């Protein structure tokens, strides 16, 4: 899975879309339309913003590998949506 697909999933979370609507947006390639309607930006701009903000997100320890990531997190389902390996060790407590 590429980070761009994860970021498309983040669009759905950020806009309060259901999983089905988010999947439909991704599969029908309407992410640009959805983002323009909500924020008047395109997907490439959204990707740049998310990548710039990612280092500022909380650090999360992966359950299986133990690796530390900065991540946008779905707290309800206890999973990372968009993540990148953290450059800071150990995690902030």
pTM assigned to the model: 0.85
Peptide bond preceding 22 in cis form (omega within 30 of 0): no
Whole-number pLDDT of residue 55? 92
pLDDT tens string for the chain (93 positions)? 578 989 999 999 999 999 999 999 999 999 999 999 999 999 999 999 999 999 999 999 988 888 999 999 998 888 899 999 988 655 555
d(CA 83, CA 58): 10
**Residue recorded with tokens 């930006």:** 41
Question: Domain map of the chain by residue range?
Answer: 3-85
Q: HEC profile for 13-35?
A: HHCCCCHHHHHHHHHCCCHHHHH
Using only C-alpha atoms, what is the Rg of the chain?
Answer: 14
């Amino acid at each position: 899975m590429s980070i761009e697909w994860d970021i498309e999933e983040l669009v759905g979370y950020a806009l309060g879309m259901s999983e089905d609507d988010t999947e439909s947006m991704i599969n029908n390639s309407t992410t640009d339309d959805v983002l323009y309607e909500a924020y008047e930006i395109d997907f490439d701009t959204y990707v740049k913003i998310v990548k710039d903000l990612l280092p500022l997100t909380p650090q999360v320890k992966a359950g299986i590998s133990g690796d530390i990531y900065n991540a946008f997190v779905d707290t309800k389902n206890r999973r990372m949506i968009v993540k990148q390996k953290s450059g800071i060790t150990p995690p902030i407590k």
